[in-house]
């Protein structure tokens, strides 16, 4: 393939053949081992704003990442060209880097016995044959519904429709070559509400492997408008220690911080507050976190990880106890532990929950802060200290009283996770982390 000839299942045989040729070339040039990652993507994205088309973008890309080993020395190089000369030069460049690199006793490919033996079809490829004109029309209808939803919606900050499809492959000289096709479609709307000299901005969006499963454009627009209007009149609250309820779409970030803290890279660099925490009880006993990598149409589903190892379902937290780190081959070797087939990350994390929705958790909270917006990056992963700018709603007597802005919430992740009171059944499904709203017993809210 001199360039991208097709994207989809029909391209996979040629993709695997290209990977095999690169591995052969690496061996011919003297590499003791080789691994290759390849991607081919095509997409359409359009943004409208204030009833006008702002951008229409079409992209079509391909790239090869080649990593070679000379004994325990490693070198990497990449190219967008797939011709014989481009591959030959890129292999030579990676080989030159490897020969000048320092030896690393942990470098090298994964154990051949652990490689995936087959790549299951996880139903990830559902291309959307939408034209640019049709994409613009859908985005405009989404924005129009937002403007029509409330007279206080006087401005727009962009409505974007995107559709992408692609192929990804990975192979190495231990005999594994895998490839799969996938698609991803999204529609998001950001609106601005104005009243009595105050402006508030909020958004809504949906994302899916299958275009027909996206929420209707009009529903997304109306929801974006409702969220923006709901924030009008926001004000700070006095500094206090109160329960805090993270909405489900923000709770995904909390568990994302946890995954970072138990990831091998941060652990062997000693940059995580959970170093040495394996086997410890970190959450309430009713809470578990488990990975489900083979979920059909899952946004993070994968049959194999970044090392070519077969992925498998497993818990990371079971009955509140940390039972597994998140490890790839290299980080596992550094820690003296086997890989958990998580090179490249976690595939579909599920957080256990009860049967209460967000409204029920608000009633249970009684008095406190419902957080629907976070700002800043105030997390120290070494200590677990957490401090973020926040916005949301003040709750009294189990009911929302008024919107809140310009406050900071603070705590320590170790304490916050241990003090989780409940996880709601309002599960966020637009993320690789599936969780409901999370109620934490007590945090510092710094305001006026």
Mean pLDDT by 10-residue block, N- to C-terminus, for the chain (448 residues)?
A: 61 93 96 96 97 96 95 95 92 96 95 89 96 98 98 96 96 94 98 94 97 98 98 96 97 97 98 97 98 97 96 97 98 97 97 97 97 93 97 97 97 98 97 98 93
pLDDT of residue 376: 87
pLDDT of residue 447: 87
pLDDT of residue 118: 84
Rg of the Cα atoms in the chain: 24
pLDDT of residue 2: 32
**DSSP state at residue 11:** G
pLDDT of residue 3: 35
CA distance 392 to 81: 48
Q: Is 121 helix (H, G, I), strand (E, B) or coil?
A: coil
CA distance 283 to 442: 15
Domains of the chain: 9-228 (3.30.2290.10), 234-447 (no CATH)
Say if CB 391 and CB 231 are below 8 A apart: yes
CA distance 117 to 136: 43
pLDDT of residue 137: 98
Say if CB 169 and CB 16 are below 8 A apart: yes
CB neighbour list of residue 6: distance below 8 Å, 6 or more residues apart = none
Buried residues in 97-129 as b, exposed as e (16+ CB within 10 A): bbeebeeeeebbbbeeebbbeebbebebbbbbe
CB atoms within 10 A of CB 39: 15
Environment class of 59 (CB within 10 Å of its CB; exposed 0-12, middle 13-18, buried 19+):
exposed
**DSSP state at residue 211:** G
**pTM (two decimals):** 0.94
CB atoms within 10 A of CB 396: 12
pLDDT of residue 4: 38
């Amino acid at each position: 393939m001199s360039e991208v000839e097709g994207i989809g299942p029909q391209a996979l045989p040629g993709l695997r053949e290209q990977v095999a040729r690169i591995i052969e070339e690496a061996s011919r040039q003297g590499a003791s081992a080789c691994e290759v990652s390849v991607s081919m993507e095509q997409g359409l994205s359009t943004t409208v704003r204030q009833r006008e088309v702002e951008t229409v973008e079409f992209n079509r890309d391909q790239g090869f990442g080649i990593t070679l080993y000379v004994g325990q020395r490693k070198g990497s190089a990449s190219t967008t060209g797939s011709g014989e000369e481009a591959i030959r030069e890129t292999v030579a460049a990676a080989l030159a880097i490897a020969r000048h690199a320092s030896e690393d006793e942990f470098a090298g490919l994964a154990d051949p016995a652990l490689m995936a033996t087959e790549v299951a079809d996880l139903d990830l490829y559902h291309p959307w044959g939408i034209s640019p004109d049709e994409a613009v029309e859908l985005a405009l209808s989404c924005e129009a519904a937002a403007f029509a939803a409330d007279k206080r919606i006087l401005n727009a900050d962009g409505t974007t429709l995107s559709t992408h499809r692609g192929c990804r492959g990975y192979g190495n000289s231990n005999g594994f070559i895998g490839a799969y096709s996938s698609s991803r479609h999204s529609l998001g709307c950001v609106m601005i509400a104005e009243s009595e000299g105050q402006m508030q901005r909020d958004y809504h969006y949906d994302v899916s492997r299958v275009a027909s499963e996206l929420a209707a454009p009009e529903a997304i627009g109306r929801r974006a408008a409702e969220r923006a209007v709901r924030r009008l009149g926001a004000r700070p609250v006095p500094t206090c220690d109160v329960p805090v309820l993270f909405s489900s779409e923000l709770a995904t970030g909390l568990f994302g911080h946890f995954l970072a803290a138990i990831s091998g890279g941060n652990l062997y660099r000693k940059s995580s507050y959970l170093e040495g925490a394996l086997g410890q009880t970190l959450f309430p006993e009713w809470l578990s976190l488990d990975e489900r990598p083979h979920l059909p149409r899952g946004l993070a589903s994968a049959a194999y990880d970044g090392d070519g190892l077969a992925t498998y379902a497993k818990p990371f937290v079971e009955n509140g106890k940390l039972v597994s780190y998140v490890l790839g081959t290299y980080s596992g070797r550094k820690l003296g532990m086997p890989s958990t087939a998580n090179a490249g990350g976690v595939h579909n994390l599920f957080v256990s929950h009860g049967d209460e929705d967000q409204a029920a958790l608000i009633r249970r909270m009684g008095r406190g802060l419902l957080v629907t917006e976070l700002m800043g990056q105030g997390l120290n992963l070494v200590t677990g200290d957490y401090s973020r700018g926040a916005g949301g709603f003040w709750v009294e007597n189990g009911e929302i009283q008024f919107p809140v802005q310009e406050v900071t919430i603070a705590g320590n992740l170790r304490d916050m996770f241990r003090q989780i009171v409940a996880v709601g059944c309002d599960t966020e499904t637009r993320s690789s982390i599936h969780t409901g709203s999370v109620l934490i017993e007590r945090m510092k809210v710094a305001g006026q």
